[in-house]
Amino acid sequence: MMSLLVVGAIVVSIVLGYRTKINIGLFAIAFAYLIGCFGLGLSPKEVIAMWPLKIFFIIFSVCLFYSFAIVNGTLEKLAEHLMYRCRHFPHLLPFAIFLAAVVISALGAGYYTVLAFMAPITLLLCSRTGLNLIVGAMAVNYGALAGANFVSSQSGIIFRTLMTNSGISDNQAFINSFGIFASTMIVPIVVLAGLILFSRKRGTAMVSMAHVDRPSPLSADQRSTLILTLVMMATVLLPPIASLILPDNTAVAFVNSKVDIGLIASVFSVIALLMKLGDERKAIASLPWGTIIMICGVGMLISVAIKAGTIDLLGSWIGTNIPPVLIPVAFGVVAAFMSLFASTLGVVTPALFPLVPSLAGTLSIDPMIIFIAIVVGAQATSISPFSSGGSLILGSCPTDEARSGLLPKLLFRAAPLGFIAALVFNLLLTFVF
């Protein structure tokens, strides 16, 4: 009974969030308090302790450092240069949009930020070049997602933290994150290639990119920001990679044990401030506070669900009612349907990742395959107009008429196409590996 109540609270939080436009995380915090204290008999201190402090600190510190590249225009300038480089290859414009979004997102801007400033550019390019709106929307959405999944970027960090919180070792979580990033790069490339070939056969491919002007070079501050960002990424990535290559080296193991991306990002934020690469107040104001509240608030409610035994019950049901070989595919389908209406980072992965380790151990399945299937499935339908990605793309439309025309295309063409591609990929992943 209590498990059903918690599941109902999660669903109600999502519905209320979208109906009232109030942050889902705030509803989740309220339900965590009411169910935790009055339903499970927990003390207020125990409920407050369920606030995912580690995830909060990591997102805060990493986004603070990367916000300097947003505030001083470094990431936007990089996007302009990438577009300009592809001006002589108009048929590859979807890949240019995808690559630009991947690079900017991987450099730390994160999914929401990249869509916020890349989606308007993409829609403008579609209108000027004749590029199909669905292809353009999928290219920018896929790119922002894939880049954010990089190990040292926003989504990749959250995935790693969720994995380690559910019992996966740091090294294995690092490997799993690379698997997720690689998978979410492969699916878009195949889908976009198919869409481009289909468009060219129908004679509806874009005709011109002559309007793309040569962007001005990066300023001194922007070059310094880019260099500092690359150094930070190397500092975060090299020790874990060295540890995987040299597992018995004590020096490498010691250095790797001291690496924490949140603390490292905090140090680099101080360096950026000392170098005067951006205004501190603007950097803090540009942090994705809404996303942070949503992820942490829902995390509290998921912790209540774990306390109530809901997660174990769901895992047991899946383990006994679905053939083991189809477990990853089933997780991918569930994640895809959840993502039609909910955030991958804030709702889907916090709810499903805790199920994976025990279920994978019981059924002798590689946990990485299930983790990949969840993310690939969830991100396949994030372009739905009722999810975060689709709503941001719709918000970038210049007129209400364009918005009303794009909504059914995202819901009835882009989201189903993404779902089919994810389903095929997860089937291949399951039966090949």
Domain ranges in the chain? 1-49+288-308
pLDDT of res. 202: 61
Instruction: Say what the pLDDT of residue 177 is.
Output: 94
* Residue pLDDT, tens place only, 140-196: 999 999 999 998 888 998 999 999 988 899 889 999 999 999 999 999 999 999 888
The predicted pLDDT at position 295 comes to: 81
- pLDDT of res. 221: 93
The percent of residues in the chain predicted with pLDDT above 90, rounded, is 32
What is the 3-class SS of the chain, one letter each residue?
CHHHHHHHHHHHHHHHHHHHCCCHHHHHHHHHHHHHHHCCCCCHHHHHCCCCHHHHHHHHHHHHHHHHHHHCCHHHHHHHHHHHHCCCCHHHHHHHHHHHHHHHHHHHHCHHHHHHHHHHHHHHHHHHHCCCHHHHHHHHHHHHHHHHCCCCCHHHHHHHHHHHHCCCCHHHHHHHHHHHHHHHHHHHHHHHHHHHHHHHHHCCCCCCCCCCCCCCCCCHHHHHHHHHHHHHHHHHHHHHHHHHHCCCCHHHHHHHHCCCHHHHHHHHHHHHHHCCCCCHHHHHHCCCHHHHHHHHHHHHHHHHHHHHCHHHHHHHHHHHHCCHHHHHHHHHHHHHHHHCCCCHHHHHHHHHHHHHHHHHHHHCCCHHHHHHHHHHHHHHCCCCCCCHHHHHHHHCCCCHHHHHHHHHHHHHHHHHHHHHHHHHHHHHHHHHC
How confident is the model at residue 38, as a pLDDT?
A: 93
Write down the mean pLDDT value for the chain.
86
Q: Where is average pLDDT lowest: 58-62, 167-171, 210-214, 346-350?
A: 210-214
Higher-confidence position of 32 and 87: 32
Q: What is the mean pLDDT of residues 97-117?
A: 83
Residue 204 pLDDT greater than 70, yes or no: no
Banded model confidence at residue 398, pLDDT cuts 50, 70, 90: low
For residue 47, name the pLDDT band (cuts at 50, 70, 90): very high
Instruction: Give me the percent of the chain exceeding a pLDDT of 70.
Output: 95
pLDDT tops 60 at residue 206 = no
pLDDT of residue 207 exceeding 60: no
Q: What is the pLDDT of residues 262-314, one digit of tens each?
A: 899 999 999 999 999 988 998 898 887 887 888 888 889 888 988 888 877 87
Rounded average pLDDT over 424-428: 94
Q: Is the pLDDT of residue 205 over 60?
A: no
